[in-house]
Amino acid sequence: MPYLFTSESVSEGHPDKIADQISDALIDNFMAFDPTSKVACETLVTTGQVVLAGEVKSKAYLDVQDIARGVIRKIGYTKSEYMFEANSCGILSAIHEQSGDINQGVDKKKKEEQGAGDQGMMFGYATNETADYMPLALDLAHKLLLELAALRRENKEIKYLRPDAKSQVTLEYDDNNKPIRIDAIVISTQHDDFAEDAKMLAKIKKDIIGILIPRVKARYKKYAHLFNDKIKFHINPTGKFVIGGPHGDTGLTGRKIIVDTYGGKGAHGGGAFSGKDPSKVDRSAAYATRHIAKNLVAAGVCDEVLVQVSYAIGVAKPTSIYVNTYGTAKVKKTDGQIAKLVEGIFDMRPYFIEQRLKLRNPIYSETAAYGHMGRKNEVVEKEFKGPDGKVIKKKVELFTWEKLDFVPQVKKAFGIK
């Protein structure tokens, strides 16, 4: 029987995402000046105020206020009427040194014996329903907001947009679990004030359906066939969205973990990513399990897969590795046998994850909005300026966990030609 499935996304101007981006900008700056840094940084944003708190062990000294203001400015909070503005907001730092009790469990004499920075379980997921091996509903939800942000920055076709926005996409699936059409789209976008609410709402609906949707269809032609004239559109369903961003809602690091991962498909271990250096397996192992899942599907082992790994704090070797192919396996092996082979292909000790995925680099700001998974793997040059005026330029590889570099090893291990 056909069924509906829904995923949501939020824009870079959403309060929780502002917090994530500030936390990850701090991670990047610490990594740029001291790749051995241990960092766990949380951010809170509210009306005219930013609070930074967390634990750091690093040789680097940073102007955290200047970094935070740069992030806020880049997002687009540059007008006083937003009640949260890059140059005028207050910034309080309560960052202190990392606990020695935790550090002694992570740092070991032999690097390869590096322990996990915490206990817990992490999940990776992949499906062949999109070219990026991501769930389609989430992919579409992200794409809608990416295009909306582009329209805001261009400030030509739509001139009233403000940075805060959310999207939601509902898909209809057939009896074979294949997406066949978009059933509903929800877009809530912050906007400038209008003289009349009724005219405002009518114009926003017209522009979203008449400008945004055609741009998404044109740019992502592989999804164009899913759009139809029966889609139920809910555009700014409250009727007005002038008050938004941190003035409308307080934002905190790590509150959009489903948006960050798979939109409700697969599973989630509960740990957030942003603001954490890669010794925290909440982050590094979640990337590593995504890397495993994507390579398994790409190699033809299965059509869909969930990979779980778990750790004890201070212990290098995982306590378990679990695989669920949802009955889509194309090889004559049980999920338990697949998990055993996976364990032999991918070394899941924290040090080896860091090395394999090049995680001790300033690569995290790009992950903090529009999802950590399903993104483009590419090499870019980034520039960082220290408080003493020292400038560091680094070429780094982004989203290494999206590479299909282990497909040959997976095929060989599973006897796939």
Annotated binding-site positions for ATP: 14, 164-166, 240-241, 249, 255-256, 272, 276
- Binding-site residue set: 14, 16, 42, 55, 98, 164-166, 240-241, 249, 255-256, 272, 276, 280
In the prediction, which pLDDT does 106 show?
61
Q: Which two tokens stand for residue 339?
A: 């998990």
d(CA 310, CA 281): 9
Rounded CA-CA distance 300/140 in Å is 24
What pLDDT score does 108 carry? 57
Average pLDDT score, the chain? 95
The neighbouring-strand residues paired with 56 are: 39, 97
pLDDT confidence tier of residue 118, bands split at 50, 70 and 90: confident
Residue 107 has pLDDT above 70, yes or no: no
Q: At what angle do helices 281-298 and 407-414 cross, to 10 degrees?
A: 60
CATH topology of domain 120-128+280-414: GMP Synthetase; Chain A, domain 3 (3.30.300)
- Residue 101 in this model has a pLDDT that exceeds 60: no
The 10s digit of each residue's pLDDT in 334-365 is 999 999 999 999 999 999 999 999 999 999 99
Detail the residues annotated as belonging to a binding site for K(+).
42
Q: Does domain 3-9+136-244 have CATH number 3.30.300.10?
A: yes
| pLDDT over threshold 60, residue 104 | no
- Domain range list for the chain: 3-9+136-244, 120-128+280-414
CA 153 centroid distance within chain: 21
Domains 3-9+136-244 and 120-128+280-414 share a fold: yes
Q: What pLDDT digit, counting tens, does each position of 38-77 carry?
A: 999 999 999 999 999 999 999 999 999 999 999 999 999 9
State both tokens at 312: 């004890």
Known binding site for L-methionine: residues? 55, 98, 249, 280
| Residues of each annotated binding site for Mg(2+) | 16
Q: Say whether 44 sits in a helix, a strand or coil.
A: strand
> Can you say whether the dihedral through the CA atoms of 305, 396, 20, 132 is positive or negative?
negative
